[in-house]
Amino acid sequence: MITFSGYYGVSSLGINYGQVANNLPAPDKVLELLSSLKLTKARIYDTNPQILTAFANSTAELVVTVENQILFQLTDAQQAYQWVNTHVKPYFPATKITGIAVGNEVFTGEDTTQISYLVPAMVNIHAALAQLGLDKYIQVSTPNSLAVLQESYPPSAGSFNVKVVGVMSQLLKFLSDTKSPFWINAYPYFAYKDNPDKISIDYVLFNPNSGMVDPTTNMHYDNMLYAQVDAVIFAIAKLGYGNIDVRVSETGWPSNGDGEEIGASLENAAVYNRNLLRRQHENEGTPLRPNWRLEVYVFALFNEDMKPGPSSERNYGLYRPDGTMCYNVGLYALSNSSPITGSVSHTPTVSKVIN
């Protein structure tokens, strides 16, 4: 068995299970991997029936995703009902679907027409869940890029881009009314890559550092991720919503990149995710909300060889598709347990868990 060394029962930690690859293990093998890692929360970027079927009768909680390209269809209430009835209801409750991500980074996507479809689609999806008696079990939200913020530094200056404020206000009302979280995709890596001369690598990697103090709140930040989350909380509060839970739907660090992708390395990826796991183990909140345990989904479970863009995009995984670890984030093999399939290497950097 493989597990997070010392990280048993970290209920606020999840993993993003992307599938933009042609060489990933079968969903039942992925479930075995997640189970062996004691990870009970995962997010997928569609409603892949093979995954939903494979994850039935397991402890894994799943967030599924409505693809951006069908948002317009779901502005029609009947089509939204049909979508839930077809893609969610047949699998629930055997498969523990706990959330529906309606779109992904819609506010900052290339197709700006989708922004106007977002909230109506979310309203209709929630209404369909309510009709089917599932709204008590499944939350509806949408993951947002940090680029929805006009200002993020210092955190107290956090504010939304004026271009999205109108629809963002509608989204926040929906989240408040349905007691659903605001999801943010937050990557300190991007900030560091774009400005390595001015941003401390230790600050973005959760390493010991002097940090920064917000001059308005006098709150001390020793890492960028928490500062980014608090900037979002401040931006939400400025639109009149002070009690919406903010959760990190994606964060991670690439283990490889192109020459100009400063900071993308095996060592930095291992340090970032290892330190993040340690913070999760301590059930930390942010300086602004120290008593609200911050829920985080790491990106990603696997390297995905078919993702477009720079090399870093294909190198966010904790694992390679063949089941070997890309780097050790505190994972170890227990010698007295049998492997999932095949053999387990007990070297500190590679543990083979999937054939």
Residue numbers annotated as active site: 105, 250
DSSP for 95-126, please give it: SEEEEEEESSSGGGSS-TTHHHHHHHHHHHHH
Q: Which 3 state secondary structure label does DSSP give 189?
A: helix
DSSP code of 155?
G
Write out the DSSP string of 212-231.
EE-TTT--EESSHHHHHHHH
Q: Are 165 and 118 in contact (CB under 8 A)?
A: no
Question: What is the residue whose two structure tokens read 């930390």?
Answer: 284
287 and 226 Cβ atoms separated by less than 8 Å: yes
Amino acid in the structure at residue 100? I
Cα separation values, 224 from 22, 25, 84, 159, 203, Å: 34, 34, 37, 17, 6
Query: What is the spatial distance between Cα 78 and Cα 117, in angstroms, rounded to a whole number?
Result: 15
